[in-house]
């Protein structure tokens, strides 16, 4: 058997997704997610123009070798575009291998280490009261862990903040789709770190007081603080027992986390923008983090993410895989199968996709009593309705750009 055909589907059911569809000479099809938010077409071209033609006729069961061939063989290594492209091929080959074996993928990865995956939801509100109502909705729906993001007095629209009616699914989508005729530019938001640092401890205090000690409370700093500001925040929320503080500082400076660690015992999570095990070298060996935030989609697929988790496991560091709506249902399934099969699983982010997305990507994963499970369908357990997908054409969409009050561009 060999790889016979590779199609790269770009579709936009509510938001953009890039999917590699790999078909073998026996007619088995595997799917891989290659969605890179706001830069989708560059990955599609990388796959179509530079990867697909080199793989036709190769043994589809040589998954590790294909990964190394694409990684080492390109000479130019790492980077989000390259690693998302490798991820898509890798996931599709794992999907094929498990379909051939007739088992859900987690069984090929070593089998289940647990009955389900503890998941966290995104609760948010422009005010503390609306945030509390959103948290209540998730707790009533069975979640044991909730990420809290709240509006900051004096600031307008900021990352992760949106009001929802209690019980309503949270469908925050930060990538703004560009409307026809409008300039092809990202939206702009404003930011003030001092105001945020003053406000956040109050938000934590209110949620902890309202929901008691059992609820796991998470927060995403979304790369906006300097190391000393992050250390101050990590220390100020410590009394409220946070489950983690995510992306306190921009991820590319691994040594910044040393400073946060010197001042606080708040658990730290980082890595959604990383794409290889090398991005974690200092963080893992110096025990500067507690959770790995990568997803299979942006970190070289199941093979790449498994490398990271094996390395992390040596230091007792656990997973907290990235699961926003810009990781497609295919990428989400890859995270779930790996999460079920590794010993050092921690928690899984769960931001459900919209109904229109789920009409195009049919999933078999399920959520019950706060736990996600990848399901028992062979392979990844996701089917792509290619006809339905073709009806949703790509729409340019970008993540916002952030500015300080004086116009300086800040991390978003």
Cα Dmax for the chain: 61
Nearest to 202 by CA among 277, 133, 150: 150
Judged by CB, which is closer to ligand CS2: 60, or 272? 272
Q: Is 326 in the site for Mg ion (CB under 5 A)?
A: no
Q: Is 37 in the site for ligand CS2 (CB under 6 A)?
A: yes
CA-to-CA dists, residue 361 to 33, 177, 330, 383, 384, angstroms: 11, 20, 8, 6, 5
Q: Which of 138, 159, 196, 365 is catalytic?
A: 159
DSSP helix/strand/coil, 217: strand
H-state helical runs in 212-297: 227-237, 256-263, 281-285
Matching residue, tokens 């290594």: 77
Total residues contacting ligand CS2 by CB under 6 A comes to 10
Of 99-107, 217-225, 365-373, 384-392, the segment contacting Mg ion by CB under 5 A is 217-225
Residues pairing with 43 in the sheet: none
DSSP helix/strand/coil, 58: coil
Taking CB positions, which residue lies at the least distance from Mg ion?
220
Select from Mg ion, ligand CS2, none the partner in contact with residue 344, using the beta carbon and a kind-dependent cut-off of 5 to 8 Å.
Answer: none
Judged by CB, which is closer to ligand CS2: 16, or 303? 16
Q: Tell me how far the alpha carbon of residue 297 is from its chain's centroid.
A: 8
- In the residue annotation, 199 being an active-site residue is answered as no
CA–CA separation, 126 and 137 (whole Å)? 16
Q: Is 294 in the site for ligand CS2 (CB under 6 A)?
A: no
Of 107-115, 191-199, 208-216, 318-326, the segment contacting ligand CS2 by CB under 6 A is 318-326
Select from ligand CS2, Mg ion, none the partner in contact with residue 339, using the beta carbon and a kind-dependent cut-off of 5 to 8 Å.
Answer: none
Site for Mg ion in 268-297 (CB under 5 A): 272
CB of 174 to ligand CS2, least distance (A): 5
Site for ligand CS2 in 89-148 (CB under 6 A): none
355 backbone dihedrals φ, ψ, rounded to 5°: -60, -40
CA–CA separation, 361 and 13 (whole Å)? 9
CB of 27 to ligand CS2, least distance (A): 34
Select from ligand CS2, Mg ion, none the partner in contact with residue 298, using the beta carbon and a kind-dependent cut-off of 5 to 8 Å.
Answer: none
CB of 159 to Mg ion, least distance (A): 9
Provide the residue count of the chain. Answer: 412
Q: Is 326 in the site for ligand CS2 (CB under 6 A)?
A: yes
Cβ-count burial of 42 within 10 angstroms (0-12 exposed, 13-18 middle, 19+ buried)? Answer: middle
- In the residue annotation, 159 being an active-site residue is answered as yes
6: which residues sit within 8 A by CB, 6+ positions away? Answer: 20, 21, 22, 23, 47, 51, 52, 55, 56, 89
Q: Is 222 in the site for ligand CS2 (CB under 6 A)?
A: yes
Select from Mg ion, ligand CS2, none the partner in contact with residue 353, using the beta carbon and a kind-dependent cut-off of 5 to 8 Å.
Answer: none
CB of 72 to ligand CS2, least distance (A): 28
CA–CA separation, 149 and 123 (whole Å)? 7
Find the binder of ligand CS2 among 220, 229, 279, 290 (CB under 6 A).
Answer: 220
Find the binder of Mg ion among 40, 95, 189, 220 (CB under 5 A).
Answer: 220
CB of 327 to ligand CS2, least distance (A): 7
Other CB atoms within a 10 A radius of the CB of residue 215 amount to 19
Q: Is 174 in the site for ligand CS2 (CB under 6 A)?
A: yes
CB of 198 to ligand CS2, least distance (A): 22
Supply angle C-alpha 326, 299, 293, rounded to 5: 70
Other CB atoms within a 10 A radius of the CB of residue 376 amount to 12
Question: Do 372 and 365 contact (CB within 8 A), yes or no?
Answer: yes
Select from Mg ion, ligand CS2, none the partner in contact with residue 74, using the beta carbon and a kind-dependent cut-off of 5 to 8 Å.
Answer: none
Q: Is 33 in the site for ligand CS2 (CB under 6 A)?
A: no
Give the residues lining the site for Mg ion (CB under 5 A): 220, 272
* Site residues (vs ligand CS2, CB under 6 A): 37, 174, 220, 222, 272, 322, 324, 326, 349, 399
Question: Which residues are the active-site residues?
Answer: 159, 222
């Amino acid at each position: 058997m060999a790889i016979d055909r590779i199609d790269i589907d770009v579709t936009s059911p509510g938001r953009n997704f890039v999917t590699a569809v790999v078909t073998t000479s026996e007619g088995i099809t595997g799917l891989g997610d290659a969605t890179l938010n706001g830069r989708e077409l560059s990955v599609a071209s990388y796959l179509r123009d530079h990867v697909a033609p080199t793989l036709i006729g190769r043994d589809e069961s040589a998954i590790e070798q294909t990964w190394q061939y694409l990684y080492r063989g390109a000479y130019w290594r790492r980077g989000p575009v390259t690693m998302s492209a490798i991820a898509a091929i890798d996931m599709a080959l794992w999907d094929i291998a498990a379909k051939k074996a007739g088992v859900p993928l987690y069984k090929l990865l070593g089998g289940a280490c647990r009955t389900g995956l503890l998941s966290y939801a995104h609760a948010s509100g422009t005010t503390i009261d609306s945030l509390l109502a959103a948290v209540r909705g998730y707790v009533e729906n069975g979640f044991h862990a909730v990420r809290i993001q709240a509006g900051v007095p004096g600031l307008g629209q900021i990352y992760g903040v949106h009001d929802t009616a209690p019980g309503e699914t949270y469908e925050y989508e930060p990538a703004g789709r560009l409307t026809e005729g409008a300039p092809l530019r990202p939206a702009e938001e404003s930011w003030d770190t001092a105001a945020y640092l003053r406000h956040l401890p109050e938000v934590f205090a209110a949620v902890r007081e309202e929901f008691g000690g059992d609820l796991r409370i998470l927060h995403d700093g979304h790369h906006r603080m300097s190391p000393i500001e992050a250390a101050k925040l990590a220390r100020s929320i410590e009394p409220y027992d946070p489950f983690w503080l995510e992306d306190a500082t921009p991820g590319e400076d691994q040594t910044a986390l040393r400073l946060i660690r010197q001042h606080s015992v708040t658990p730290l999570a980082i890595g959604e923008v990383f794409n290889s095990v090398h991005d974690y070298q200092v963080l893992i060996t110096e025990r500067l983090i507690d959770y790995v935030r990568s997803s299979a989609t942006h970190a070289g697929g199941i093979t790449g993410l498994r490398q990271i988790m094996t390395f992390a496991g040596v230091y007792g560091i656990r997973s907290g895989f990235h699961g926003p709506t810009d990781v497609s249902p295919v990428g989400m399934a890859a995270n779930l199968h790996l999460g079920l099969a590794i010993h050092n699983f921690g928690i899984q982010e769960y931001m459900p996709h919209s109904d229109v997305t789920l009409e195009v990507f049919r999933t078999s994963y399920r959520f019950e009593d706060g736990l996600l499970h990848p399901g028992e369908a062979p392979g990844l357990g996701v089917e792509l309705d290619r006809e339905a997908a073709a009806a949703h054409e790509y729409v340019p969409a970008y993540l916002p750009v952030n500015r300080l009050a004086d116009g300086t561009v800040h991390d978003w």
